[in-house]
Amino acid sequence: MGILYNEQAGIFKLDALDTSYVIGIFDDERFVSHLYYGKKIIDSDVRYLYGPLYQVRPSVLPGQAGRIMDAVPFEYPTFGCGDYREHCLEVETVDGYHACDLRYEAHKIYPGKPALEGLPSTFEREAGDCNTLELVCRDKVLNLGVTLLYTVFEQLNVITRAVLVTNEDSNAVYIKRVLSGCVEFDHQNFDVMTLHGSWERECGPVRTPLRQGKIVTESTRGESGPTDNPFLAVLSCDATEDTGEVFAMNLVYSGNFLGVAQGHHFRGTRIVMGINPVNFSWKLEPGDTFTAPEVVMVYSDRGLGKMSRTFHDLYRGHLIRDVYPDTSRPVLINNWEATYFGFTFDRLIEIAEEASKCGIELFVLDDGWFGDRNDETKGLGDWFVNEEKLPGGIARLSKEINKLGMKFGLWIEPEMVSPDSELFREHPDWAIQIPGRHRSLFRHQYVLDWSRREVRSHIYDMIHQVLSGANVEYIKWDMNRTLTEAASAALPADRQGELCHRYVLGVYEIMGRLREDFPSLLLENCSAGGSRFDPGVLYYSPQIWGSDDSDAIERIQIEMGASMCYPLSTIGAHVSAVPNHQTGRITPLETRGYAAMAGTFGYELNIAQMSEAEKAVIREQVDIYHKYNWIVKEGDLYRIGDPFANRDHACWMVVSRDKKEALVTYIQTHALPGYFGSARKLRLKGLMDEAVYRAEVISVSSEVVNGDAHLEGGQNAGKGREVLEVSGSALMNAGYWMERLGGDYMGMMIHLKAIV
């Protein structure tokens, strides 16, 4: 059992794979304090860790001047009683008072993990995976019960947290702020890593030295958003991809969030994460419970790489419910960048026919198939097929696609409504708005009030009808704008602050229903690209479109950034046409394939207009995908060349769980002149030292330059050329020569297989 309680010492010790997390209950007043988080310690009585805390403890002992709440490391800090650092809970009484003071009351330790009502969360897959501690705390004045939930995944370096707040009083209270977790450290020797970006530039890692003050990552957009991702890590200042300590948090939530790293005035650090308190308030009636979402905490003693692999293992094993658990997901082709709104039935079939000849398995019809939607100004909300455009409807189209041996998939954007739509004309009050205030349009659309049951049911029924009338095996669920003037016509004044959270709960409810009603449906999420890329969405949807930027070179950065916490198998990535529609960049077709194979892999171009030579490359890519995708889907990711730090190359590899096979991808993003040119020796990772690997280049973007001199001491890396047989120790310590390739954006893929 990974959770120990030492009653005499008042200490809880949570042990994950090689992590310990220690909670102490101050003996007399029962404050719940945080004593340690880091590499495993073996003692069960570590009360010495209180150290000088006993002197500053928040107790009114005889002869003590007063409380110094501000110095104590709390497990779940509250507002109003003297802790001025970043807090987790703030409650307002009906009389307008703001103070809360939690003390330990009871606890439970049990095997397994409870689900969180209405919210996605990680789960136990097999009995014995995890154990849970419930710490029940209470504010006696408010009659407020706060249960802190901790689950330890014993085979991973993962502890998850969530919080239940129950009003046991006879008056309502208002929760003004309820975060999901807090961790304290007794020093500030950290850098902080967060993921930032923008539309078409999601998930860029930003590393900032911590000092006294706050580093914040947050969203107030109503979705997790493209500018900040609900991820925050503190890492030792000298931490690298492979060394140093990392403590990371990732919130399993898809709405407004807040993550803060605070270097505080007692020279310590506090990190917190949860629902963003901006425009949040929750009225808790007597007897009601509020559930705060889960925050996943990962510890790594070997840098960012191990942190990422831990997140990937957790999410693949305990969050994602893949509809293709034992096989690769189908290679898809999406018509968006091929036709935009300008498609006809025949054009779609033409694309599908060519795609099927190349082995592509799933045809996805994107935006524009419904209502009066021939451009982005109209039709959202009218989820019935446009028969003028698609005679015979989705039923006929999907049948024709199925006849080609392909599956059929469809795009929807169910949370939105166009002002120019039948739905809006009938129900103008269904769109989110503040009465008397201009309602902002983004992309010609409003957001529907999904906090209202009748609104979501109406939309879901329409979509259900489309899905029931045709063989739809995939859905791309899009969300192309953020919330503004957030208010609901259905909520009273003192509950308006609940809208954003209720909206997210509504989205989860409908995604959950969709999964239940159509269990074999593959759901891919999207929000103008990767604007809602978070673990909450991954619970319903095993893949998320990574970005509206489909340029291969840009995508490498976005994918490597997203891979900080999300598995490659979740990142929707397609080969698109050149010149690229977002950047104008021209890259080899093979390279576009390498970037897309670091994700879910598919195409988004007009294959019917491609040359025979290009179609041959596509056939080869589909073959490579089928042969090797299992490594990407299940394996361990090692980032080698950092595409953010290096102007001239990117490299990553995925190693099978048994370390017997690996797939290395190398991209020469900027060719260099000189004797060696861009040839470089890169140290591989994650292999077995003693095993001998056969390294074979299975694909190259273009002719390899055949100068001999630069190969001296290396090996031939060209496709179809001699393969290398060498030990893991050589490949990892001395490195593998990446041959000089013919110019910018060229790349190659190398397959490694242990032969001895």
Active site members = 478, 548
406 vs 528, beta carbon nearer ligand GLA: 528
The torsion angle over the Cα atoms of residues 284, 147, 223 and 262, rounded to 10 degrees, is: 110
Please choose, out of 228-236, 248-256, 521-529, 699-707, the segment that lies near ligand GLA by the rule CB under 6 A. 521-529
Give Cβ neighbours of residue 338 (< 8 Å, ≥ 6 apart).
Answer: 351, 577, 604, 605, 606, 607
CA 193 to chain centroid:
15
456 vs 574, beta carbon nearer ligand GLA: 574
Residue 478 CB, nearest approach to ligand GLA (Å): 5
Residue 206 CB, nearest approach to ligand GLA (Å): 23
Complete DSSP assignment for 685-742: -S--SS-EEEEEEEEESSPBP--SGGGTTS---STTSPPEEEEHHIIIII-EEEPPBS
Residues 334-353 that bind ligand GLA (CB under 6 A): 336
Enter the DSSP assignment of 744: T
Contacting residue, 153, 280, 383, 411, with ligand GLA by CB under 6 A: 411
745 touches ligand GLA by CB under 6 A: no
Contacting residue, 139, 202, 366, 534, with ligand GLA by CB under 6 A: 366
Residue 460 CB, nearest approach to ligand GLA (Å): 20
Give Cβ neighbours of residue 626 (< 8 Å, ≥ 6 apart).
Answer: 328, 359
Under 8 Å between Cβ of 138 and 102: yes
Contacting residue, 78, 356, 480, 656, with ligand GLA by CB under 6 A: 480
383 vs 693, beta carbon nearer ligand GLA: 383
Please choose, out of 105-113, 494-502, 526-534, 552-560, the segment that lies near ligand GLA by the rule CB under 6 A. 526-534
120 touches ligand GLA by CB under 6 A: no
367 touches ligand GLA by CB under 6 A: yes
- Angle (CA) 579-583-585 rounded to 5° is 45
Residues 250-289 that bind ligand GLA (CB under 6 A): none
184 vs 200, beta carbon nearer ligand GLA: 200
Enter the DSSP assignment of 330: P
Q: Round to whole Å and give the CA distance between 495 and 283.
A: 6
223 vs 636, beta carbon nearer ligand GLA: 223
Contacting residue, 223, 478, 549, 559, with ligand GLA by CB under 6 A: 478
Contacting residue, 529, 535, 536, 561, with ligand GLA by CB under 6 A: 529
In the block, tokens 């048994």 appear at 658
Q: Round to whole Å and give the CA distance between 43 and 11.
A: 11
336 vs 693, beta carbon nearer ligand GLA: 336
Q: Round to whole Å and give the CA distance between 235 and 244.
A: 7
Quick check: helix, strand or coil at residue 168? Answer: coil
313 vs 366, beta carbon nearer ligand GLA: 366
Long-range own/partner contacts, residues 674-680 (CB < 8 A, 24 or more apart) = 675/709, 675/710, 676/710, 676/740, 677/705, 677/707, 677/710, 677/740, 678/648, 678/649, 678/738, 678/740, 678/741, 679/710, 679/711, 679/714, 679/737, 679/738, 679/739, 679/740, 680/649, 680/737, 680/738
Please choose, out of 240-248, 381-389, 524-532, 580-588, the segment that lies near ligand GLA by the rule CB under 6 A. 524-532
564 touches ligand GLA by CB under 6 A: no
Under 8 Å between Cβ of 587 and 580: yes
420 touches ligand GLA by CB under 6 A: no
Q: How many residues bind ligand GLA (CB under 6 A)?
A: 11
Residue 529 CB, nearest approach to ligand GLA (Å): 5
Residue 416 CB, nearest approach to ligand GLA (Å): 10
**Closest to 233 in 3D by CA, of 189, 182, 271:** 271
Burial (CB count <10 Å: 0-12, 13-18, 19+), residue 461: exposed
Q: Round to whole Å and give the CA distance between 259 and 655.
A: 32
Residue 298 CB, nearest approach to ligand GLA (Å): 29
Enter the DSSP assignment of 586: -
375 vs 690, beta carbon nearer ligand GLA: 375
Contacting residue, 75, 245, 548, 554, with ligand GLA by CB under 6 A: 548
528 touches ligand GLA by CB under 6 A: yes
Quote the tokens at residue 217: 């990552």
The torsion angle over the Cα atoms of residues 394, 400, 402 and 408, rounded to 10 degrees, is: -30
Give Cβ neighbours of residue 658 (< 8 Å, ≥ 6 apart).
Answer: none
Residue 551 CB, nearest approach to ligand GLA (Å): 14
571 touches ligand GLA by CB under 6 A: no
Residue 366 CB, nearest approach to ligand GLA (Å): 5
Give Rg (Cα) of the chain.
Answer: 27
Residue 336 CB, nearest approach to ligand GLA (Å): 5
Please choose, out of 82-90, 242-250, 420-428, 525-533, the segment that lies near ligand GLA by the rule CB under 6 A. 525-533
Q: Round to whole Å and give the CA distance between 37 and 300.
A: 11
Nearest position to ligand GLA, beta carbon: 367
Give Cβ neighbours of residue 52 (< 8 Å, ≥ 6 apart).
Answer: none
Please choose, out of 219-227, 351-359, 523-531, 748-756, the segment that lies near ligand GLA by the rule CB under 6 A. 523-531
Residue 375 CB, nearest approach to ligand GLA (Å): 10
254 vs 480, beta carbon nearer ligand GLA: 480
Residue 604 CB, nearest approach to ligand GLA (Å): 8
Peptide bond into 120 cis (omega under 30): no
160 vs 525, beta carbon nearer ligand GLA: 525
H helix or E strand, kind and range, residue 298: strand 289-300
Residue 341 CB, nearest approach to ligand GLA (Å): 8
Query: Beta-carbon neighbour count of residue 365 at 10 Å?
Result: 25
Give Cβ neighbours of residue 578 (< 8 Å, ≥ 6 apart).
Answer: 585, 586, 587, 589, 592
163 vs 526, beta carbon nearer ligand GLA: 526
139 vs 478, beta carbon nearer ligand GLA: 478
Q: Round to whole Å and give the CA distance between 364 and 398.
A: 10
526 touches ligand GLA by CB under 6 A: yes
121 vs 576, beta carbon nearer ligand GLA: 576
User: 201 - beta bridge partners?
Assistant: 198
Residue 425 CB, nearest approach to ligand GLA (Å): 22
Please choose, out of 292-300, 389-397, 522-530, 667-675, the segment that lies near ligand GLA by the rule CB under 6 A. 522-530
Q: Round to whole Å and give the CA distance between 29 and 539.
A: 40
Residues that bind ligand GLA (CB under 6 A): 336, 366-367, 411, 478, 480, 526, 528-529, 545, 548
